[in-house]
Copies of this chain bind each other. A is one copy, B any other.
């Protein structure tokens, strides 16, 4: 009898590792392959950065409460965020879509309006793609390309003991936004016609439906002459991303709960669900902020930047990844990605 291993036994990272562990790059131009936010291809000093995302209806988005224009915008943003997370500037995207026959041309136009809006806002070109008819649900596949000078690529595996841990923007809001929309969807399903009660939740819902990518932070790095020692984008929750950098870089870290940037709007929204806002930042997802480490020497350069928070520092691997809570307790940081959290 043939062996059968369930994908769930491996998990997503396990599966990716399983599928890619034997890759040996053949082309001299392939500088960096699987395992970071994006791959890197060399062109005589200038390098091309490539990343790709596959989004499926019912898995990654719910058209019940996601306007198509926002979906188009967000699908592009998710890819641009990966390019910025390499310290690169995105230049081109390809967009492939599988269309269910429920979708009219007007609906597709709305989706592309969002795609083009993101292209315009971030200065990238849509250069290609593929369209197919899908028997079952809307399918979106986007690939983004970016440019960078060779010596400025920032990977995930190069954080060092003593480096300062930072993140951009604020965290946890998109997850609360999702909770609100899921709640209203449930109510609507049970009592059709009821108008959604999202009064006062514009910020958290906006963060979920129309996120932005952190172009401004990458531009600031360039101006301030900072090259982070490691970086990735925060799409699966802060703790999962920090653990990823620790593991890849072979270091530990100390994270200070009180330093995690969470806005009042997010806190108030979280309390309505009786959820700890910190848990949302640690284990929520889709923030599309940047998590990065810098050399201590660079601290002065960014300490006054209003869009950057210093949240901790890297330690030796033996000390593990820890969080010091507001109450003064030291806990092990655990990986609770987006999916794990949703099961609670």
A173 → chain B, closest Cβ, in Å? 24
User: Chain A interface secondary structure, helix, strand, loop or mixed?
Assistant: mixed
Chain B residues within an 8 Å CB radius of A257? none
Q: Please name all residues of chain B whose beta carbon is closer than 8 Å to the beta carbon of A39 when the two chains form the complex.
A: 92, 94, 127-128
Instruction: Count this chain's copies in the assembly.
Output: 2
A17 to chain B, nearest CB (A): 11
**Residue among A15, A52, A59, A94 facing the most chain B CB atoms (10 A cut-off):** A52
Taking CB atoms and an 8 Å cut-off, the chain A residues in 22-44 that contact chain B are 22-23, 25-27, 29-30, 32-34, 38-39, 41, 43-44
Q: Is there contact, CB below 8 Å, between A105 and B50?
A: no
A189 lies within 8 A of chain B by Cβ: no
Chain B's closest residue to A55 (CB) is B132
Segment touching B, from A96-104, A197-205, A240-248, A290-298: A96-104
Q: Whole-angstrom distance between the alpha carbons of A139 and B98 in the complex? A: 10
Q: Does A134 sit within 8 A of B, measured CB to CB? A: yes
Q: Is the CB of B54 within 8 A of A133?
A: no
Known: A2-B106, A41-B48, A50-B145. A135 touches B58 (CB 8 A): yes
Q: Which residues of B contact A6 (CB under 8 A)?
A: 101, 104-105
The answer to whether A124 has its CB under 8 Å from any CB of chain B is yes
A49 nearest CB across to chain B (Å)? 10
Q: Pick the most buried of A26, A44, A116: most chain B CB atoms within 10 A of its CB.
A: A26
Which residues of the other chain, B, contact A46 by a CB distance below 8 angstroms?
43-44
Q: Is the CB of B91 within 8 A of A29?
A: yes
The residue among A16, A25, A139 with the most chain B CB atoms within 10 A of its own CB is A139
